Structure 1
Amino acid sequence: MRTSYTVTLPEEPPASPFPALAKELRPRSPLSPSLLLSTFVGLLLNKAKNSKSAQGLAGLRNLGNTCFMNSILQCLSNTRELRDYCLQRLYMRDLSHSSNAHTALMEEFAKLIQTIWTSSPNDVVSPSEFKTQIQRYAPRFVGYNQQDAQEFLRFLLDGLHNEVNRVTVRPKSNPENLDHLPDDEKGRQMWRKYLEREDSRIGDLFVGQLKSSLTCTDCGYCSTVFDPFWDLSLPIAKRGYPEVTLMDCMRLFTKEDVLDGDEKPTCCRCRARKRCIKKFSIQRFPKILVLHLKRFSESRIRTSKLTTFVNFPLRDLDLREFASENTNHAVYNLYAVSNHSGTTMGGHYTAYCRSPVTGEWHTFNDSSVTPMSSSQVRTSDAYLLFYELASPPSRM
């Protein structure tokens, strides 16, 4: 069983039984340890490409209530393009051009993914070095308390994005009034301004754009705001209880919401607080869509959990009805689920993942990895759903 993904290089090469030949073959300039390590990892990755047994089926050791972390790491390990980004070491190019002096989180994350995919099935990998780096980036994960998997995912993606951000010098903030533009053009301009500051391979995969519209019920004026999103938090619909569908949750998320009373915003045309109708739609669909089912709710007394079964499709999730403009690029296929079983006081996280190599589903329960049927993927424990776009979106 593997206890660490650190590769230790010997300080001195072993003695050769043929000293004269060894002297003749010895390179004239010594290789640096970093180059040796890079070469060694490259050989392992090439071996993994040609090995039918290397399928990313290594388990992750629980370091003390770290099942939330292990669940998310396995979901990301089976994210096809993110996996390739790490295995092909493309992140090294981005790190070399990054203005961020701190790059250890991306480096340790990539090493961990490489180790998972170069290990034999049923090996167990310790993510201790990665955990050290995520704790430095986000001190809230220091210690051994159980944490929320969605919050961990957000912190992790944010940290990875910051370290490989292609933008070396962010432009000065220059507020620009775009209200005179048609909504679609306004959305494109807001996306362009976002990419001027935040542009990374991580963002290429996970970031979409949400459109929020406010319509005054008095004068009919409609204002729009466009914001980037890394995931969508969906309320769980009560209609059809005890079973609802993912589309029910999406429709509840995007339904018109009346803002009245203390919630009334200020209408730009009326120049007064007015009753308004708020509605969400999706302006840009990301390559990887993470849907967060809001199972946990907090009150003054306690945190409660919804165990409602939400029926979600494994293939052909068609979200075109939620697009703010006509698009054919909104059909997704499921490839991973982060599950939470138990209660808020004593819960446990696992992951169901479909291999990007074999297409087979497996259960990842910390150090244990077992095959499963696709018919077992849908459960009332589903918490985070990872969908991959079936066809590439338009990047304008």
Structure 2
Amino acid sequence: MAGFQLQMTWQTNLLKKRKNGPPLGFKNLGNTCYLNSVLQCLTYTPPLANFCLQLQHSLSCDSVAQQDKKSDCPFCLLEKRIVRSLSIDSTLDTPGKIISGLKIFAEHFRQGRQEDAHEFLRYVIDACHTTSLRLKKLQQQRRKYVSNGGGDGVSGSTVVKEIFGGALQSQVKCLTCGNESNKVDEIMDISVDVLNSSSLKEAFQKFFQPEILDGNNKWSEIETSYLCFCSCKKLVAARKQMSIVQAPNILVIQLKRFEGIFGGKIDKAIAFEEVLVLSSFMCKTSQDPHPEYKLFATIVHSGFSPDSGHYYAYIKDAIGRWYCCNDSYVSVSTLQQVFTEKVYILFFSRTKPPPPTTTNGISQTIKKSTPDSIPATSSSSSSIPGPQKKPNNTKKFPNMKIIVHNKENNNINNKDKNGISQNKPLANGNENGCKSSNGIRNGVAGDKSEVHGSNGGVAVPDNYKRKHEEQKHSKLLGEDHDSLTKREELKESLMKEASLYLRSCGWMDEVKSSMHAKKMCFRDELQQDELKKKLIGDAKGSFLSRIPEPLKTRLINHIRAHVDP
């Protein structure tokens, strides 16, 4: 791969049978539509197709890898599939080697089972990137052995990263002193919420719009790495905003249509256009101020959940014609027809090359960022998540409530389970004014006109007793109501604060990814209710102990600050 120049436009001299003919159809071997649609889009991604048609990866892999291990190379499998799809003189084929090698891309994939197209795409791209990095390391080790000398470290750049890779910046700026915290995350695609949007443009505007953090969302951290710790030394209001530092050559956008691990689908039309310009979302310090893209492929999901339904793709060939690729059936289409579909994944290609990367490019930007200060809240897929979804995490994981309740019950004003203070003993009986097990209410016998108190037993008139009881009961109800209201407000405040923190540090993303992977493994063995209980139970057992200590300290301080002494 050394010296390879990325070619963004089709190199038609490399094409054979598919230069003017329609795309090759793929047989559906039982719930393989997700795989077929992804392969069609990758096959018609121009820079990736050009790279594979020149056998750039396999030539390098042949020179380094052992032959008995080469059959397990995910990039070799993909390269062979793309070359065959663009070369054979046929109308129909079976991607058998990819299907039989599913576990090479992801251990939890199963033949014959419906999978999510976006998840499969993520695993394919990440597997090829990881393989390319490993190959570069082997090549460098061989060169060092031959020259018997030193060398630079292995670069993180690969052809996969050159094609799909970009970077997002999350900036948090203190509105009191002006200090900024910047964190840069590398991405291979972008996932945007569409629940409250009607167009791709609107979804992007909401993704990149500034967010003011104040009140319950104040961002001050206990850790010394927090930028404002020395300047402000207190909770402050701040502005948080995402921006694009490096725009990718091939931009893949997932519309987050699936809600939660067990949620349904957002099945509504989202408007989009053929041309996408990202200039208004770029970071001010970016050297690439005006990236422009053109649509060349989409994936559509028809159905109600990621575990069912059907996937098919639209692609644009080397001479600009659109086709609908629905497994075995390939038909001529138009861009207007593409616009009418409720798309799930969109593929855009840059219309102009980015400016040359300087020594102050993205790699150095990432090294200079301060990831420990304010972790970025990213909806991108820089790691390997499942289908991007947006659950209400505070409801999904009741362990957060358990933490708050334990602190509240054990440490706050010595309250009982009903929220009533035990520091002020109530006169004449039970703390909560309820009937005791022997039928006596607050020390008053139900059928006798006397109170058994510290004075040994004094007769009390019935009307006085009833009046006293009503006044006390009313007071208790008022205290109990106020206490419960304050407690619920505090709980809601703590949950919002904890949710923001856990999202920002990646804890919730890790929980969702873990739950999704386990769901894929056990969904054929357990019923829905049993599966849900198992996933939540496993997540609590695995992640409860991993809640960051600064968050626990922060919540305790919040409780102490808001509870009356």
TM-score by length of 1: 0.73
Deviations 1:163-187 (A, max 9, x none): 222641799xxxxxxxxxxxxxxxx
Return the offset for 1:46: 11
Match of 1:42? Answer: none
Structure 2 CA distance for partners of 1:96 and 1:200, relative to 1, 3 Å: farther
Structure 2 CA distance for partners of 1:229 and 1:50, relative to 1, 3 Å: closer
Return the offset for 1:86: 1.0
Structure possessing the higher radius of gyration over alpha carbons: 2
Return the offset for 1:111: 1.1
Deviations 1:324-359 (A, max 9, x none): 03635410000000111111153110000001x221
Q: Greater helix percent: which structure? A: 2
Match of 1:83? Answer: 49
Structure 2 CA distance for partners of 1:197 and 1:50, relative to 1, 3 Å: closer
Match of 1:360? Answer: 321
Deviations 1:262-320 (A, max 9, x none): 67352422255544322110011111000111111116xx3111122111111x31110
Q: Secondary structure at the match of 2:74?
A: helix
Return the offset for 1:131: 2.1
Pick aligned residue for 1:198 from 144, 156, 162: 156
2:242 & 2:63 partners in 1: Cα distance? 36
CA contact (8 A) 1:57 1:120 kept: no
Deviations 1:78-116 (A, max 9, x none): 001111111111112442566896652111111111111
1:157 pairs with 2:118? no
Deviations 1:134-154 (A, max 9, x none): 313311212322111111111
Match of 1:112? Answer: 81
Match of 1:378? Answer: 339
CA contact (8 A) 2:171 2:182 kept: yes
2:64 & 2:281 partners in 1: Cα distance? 36
Structure 2 CA distance for partners of 1:222 and 1:137, relative to 1, 3 Å: same
Q: Secondary structure at the match of 1:141?
A: coil
1:148 & 1:388 partners in 2: Cα distance? 23
Deviations 1:338-390 (A, max 9, x none): 111111153110000001x2210000111111111111001342011000000
Pick aligned residue for 2:106 from 127, 138, 141: 138
2:175 & 2:13 partners in 1: Cα distance? 64
1:308 & 1:284 partners in 2: Cα distance? 31
Return the offset for 1:200: 1.0
Residue identity matched to 2:312: T
Match of 1:291? Answer: 253
Pick aligned residue for 2:244 from 282, 286, 299: 282
Match of 1:313? Answer: 273
Structure 2 CA distance for partners of 1:48 and 1:94, relative to 1, 3 Å: closer
CA contact (8 A) 1:283 1:323 kept: yes
1:264 pairs with 2:219? yes
1:130 & 1:154 partners in 2: Cα distance? 15
CA contact (8 A) 1:98 1:163 kept: no
Structure 2 CA distance for partners of 1:47 and 1:331, relative to 1, 3 Å: closer
Residue identity matched to 2:194: I
Q: Secondary structure at the match of 1:290?
A: strand
CA contact (8 A) 1:206 1:287 kept: yes
Pick aligned residue for 1:304 from 250, 255, 264: 264
Match of 1:70? Answer: 36
Aligned-pair RMSD on alpha carbons? Answer: 2.8
CA contact (8 A) 2:16 2:86 kept: no
Return the offset for 1:119: 2.6
Q: Secondary structure at the match of 2:125?
A: helix
Out of 89-98 and 338-347, give the one that drifted further: 89-98
Q: Secondary structure at the match of 2:80?
A: helix
Structure 2 CA distance for partners of 1:263 and 1:363, relative to 1, 3 Å: farther
